[in-house]
Amino acid sequence: MTQIRQPIITVAGHVDHGKTSILDCFRGSAIQEGEAGGITQKISFTKFPKEQIYKSSPLIKQNNLDLKIPGFLFIDTPGHAAFTNLRKRGGSLADLAILVVDIKEGIKPQTAEVLQILKANKTPFVIALNKVDTISGWPRSPQQKEENRGIKESIENLAIHVKQEFDMALMTFQGAMQSHGFSPELFYEISDFTKNVAIVPCSAKTGEGISELLFVLTGLSEKFLTKRLELSENAKGVLLEIKKEKIGVLTEAILYDGQLKENDEIVIATFSGNPIITKIRSIEEIQPLTNKFKPVKQATAATGIRIHLTHKENLLSGMPFEKLSKTKNNLEEISEKFKKEISQTIKQDKEGIIIKADSLGSLEALITLLKQSNIQIVKAGIGPINKTDIISAKTNIKTNPLNAIILGFNVELDEDLNLDNIKVITNPVVYKLIEDLDDFRTKKQAEIERERLLGLAVICKLQILPQYVFRNSNPAIFGVKVLSGILKKNLQLIDESDENIARVKAIQHEKNSIDKASSGLEVAISLPGTNYERQITNKNISYLYSQISESQFKTFKKNRDLLSQEEIKTLSEIAEIKRKKKEDWGV
């Protein structure tokens, strides 16, 4: 008889909506208390045996369900989308997902991300509409347990005003879900689970609805997943977290198919296409209802494992692995399979931005969400942002400055990197990355447009700082404050009487030479052929302006919408200065 494995269930949703608390209800523990700030720091497994399902959900026996599945393997994930995107060949690693949503907050940006990934991966899911106890007037001491009352009866017995608030929150959430292309209904009102997404109202705090949530997960697994859950002979898994140690590498992984033994050899995928072959020194397996691991000689899917590997280099988080047969005659087949999988994951465009992420799953999630926002990608990789990434981004400055960007998802920058006009945006949340990218591109586009329309002409007004005169002449060096526009090297300056002073030879800020200074900055400037005392002090000059031609003035005037208020004011002052000599200047 074919052996059936545990369904792998990811528990996902927005930060603080109660993912870990719901798992605590399942396993009767309180891990959340120990998490930094109550937010899950990394993926954790919960092995949930069949006996515990019966114990935690009396509804199963009440409905005479005979379970074929040996239990569940729950994966608690940090809020961001990458972890919903744990992958295996041919689709999502998760057989099912629980999307945890705070009934009062509804769909938040991270919830929307998770929905996009679930839709892209075609992963079936159940909605745990959590925190029903926060609805005003919800019974504080639910009589559910004493009266053996389920969540359906609890909702039906709510006071009228409480029921109205619940119904309003439910309808608002259902409307929001429909805008994402899903049709959700309360689980007890669904006749066809292939057409509707089940909503289970619950409270991790009071325990209401938790039994029903397990019941729905069990029913869906038994009815729709048994074929998918059949175990094959060959062990397959995904590396999650990698730690280098003196004796080798310790990695946390999910074994999702087959059986793995001590001393087995496994093949691990790489970016280069040349797979890594490594031996398993030892295996530790996650124990039921706890986050503790125990040494074992062999492990059978589906389970969370820690494996000691002999190979130390180039192992990447999120990469798939497969057991190598004793005769090694399946090495070529596995290699080709992995090569195809990685190339499909990272389809790159001819031009676009550069992206880095902390794992293959993260990278794929990022690519999926960027593609949905019509953002092109020229290069993608795993690990910290490095010098090679900067060099790649520099080539974009000439072809398309809007692509001279590196996005880093959950990654750091290598030390002592010279960014050199390359914009680097990092964030552990995808939607924030995309928001920041859009903001940068909007501002950059306006800058490019402005430069294209206005050419090399510059509007600038400087206030002379007489307390900072470093040299009187040959060249004159003194302090100025940029009041509006941009001060650039080689900019021709005029005084308040439209007399040419000099071209700016050099600009210094805090003893460093710079090419330009923006509004608000105080800098020292060097003006060749200028005598400070004779041309500035004796003439009582307080301000200097950039020299602009009449045609440049008219171009500026025509494109006022591209100028700041300070620049418009300065332009007006320059016109007044010019009109002292020529009344119709710029008219």
Answer yes or no: is 143 within a domain. Answer: yes
526 and 507 in a common domain: yes
Answer yes or no: is 1 within a domain. Answer: no
372 and 486 in a common domain: no
Do the strands 125-130 and 460-471 form a parallel or antiparallel pair, or are they unpaired?
unpaired
Helix (H, G, I), strand (E, B) or coil at 100: strand
558 and 520 in a common domain: yes
**Residue 550: which residues within 8 A CB-CB, separation 6 or more?**
578, 585, 586
What is the CATH number for 335? 2.40.30.10
122 and 51 in a common domain: yes
pLDDT tens-place string over residues 350-408 = 899 999 988 887 888 888 888 888 999 999 998 899 999 999 999 988 889 999 999 99
Amino acid 40: pLDDT: 36
Out of 452, 476, 496, a domain closes at: 452
Answer yes or no: is 257 within a domain. Answer: yes
Type of residue numbered 391: I
**Count: domains in the chain:** 4
- Comparing CA positions, the residue from 97, 105, 78 lying closest to residue 169 is 105
**Residue 438: which residues within 8 A CB-CB, separation 6 or more?**
none
Amino acid 315: pLDDT: 86
Answer yes or no: is 51 within a domain. Answer: yes
Averaged pLDDT for residues 560-566: 87
Answer yes or no: is 2 within a domain. Answer: no
pLDDT tens-place string over residues 217-266 = 999 999 999 899 999 988 999 988 887 777 678 898 999 999 999 999 99
Amino acid 91: pLDDT: 60
156 and 13 in a common domain: yes
> For residues 350 and 339, what is the distance between their CA atoms, to the nearest angstrom?
20
- 450 pLDDT exceeds 80? no
Using pLDDT thresholds of 50, 70 and 90, give the confidence band for residue 113.
confident
379 and 330 in a common domain: no
Residue 59 half-sphere exposure toward CB, CA atoms < 13 A? 18
Answer yes or no: is 17 within a domain. Answer: yes
27 and 152 in a common domain: yes
- Comparing CA positions, the residue from 210, 208, 267, 193 lying closest to residue 237 is 267
Out of 343, 371, 398, a domain closes at: 343
- Comparing CA positions, the residue from 265, 300, 303, 297 lying closest to residue 282 is 297
Peptide bond into 475 cis (omega under 30): yes
563 and 547 in a common domain: yes
pLDDT tens-place string over residues 468-522 = 999 999 899 999 999 999 999 999 999 999 999 999 999 999 989 999 999 999 9
98-107, 425-434, 563-572: least confidently modelled range: 425-434
150 and 87 in a common domain: yes
Answer yes or no: is 361 within a domain. Answer: yes
516 and 436 in a common domain: no
Amino acid 456: pLDDT: 60
Using pLDDT thresholds of 50, 70 and 90, give the confidence band for residue 80.
very low
**Residue 44: which residues within 8 A CB-CB, separation 6 or more?**
31, 75, 76, 291
254 and 397 in a common domain: no
359 and 314 in a common domain: no
Amino acid 33: pLDDT: 42
Out of 180, 198, 225, a domain closes at: 225
Give yes or no for a contact between 500 and 516, defined as CB atoms under 8 angstroms apart.
no
Using pLDDT thresholds of 50, 70 and 90, give the confidence band for residue 441.
very high
Instruction: Report CA-CA distances (Å) from 177 to 1, 12, 170, 185.
Output: 41, 16, 11, 10
pLDDT tens-place string over residues 30-64 = 344 443 334 333 456 789 999 999 988 888 988 88
Instruction: Report CA-CA distances (Å) from 573 to 456, 457, 553, 577, 581.
Output: 20, 16, 12, 6, 14
What is the CATH number for 353? 3.40.50.10050
Give residue 334's domain range: 236-343
What is the CATH number for 122? 3.40.50.300
Answer yes or no: is 278 within a domain. Answer: yes
Instruction: Report CA-CA distances (Å) from 315 to 155, 240, 388, 581.
Output: 51, 10, 19, 73
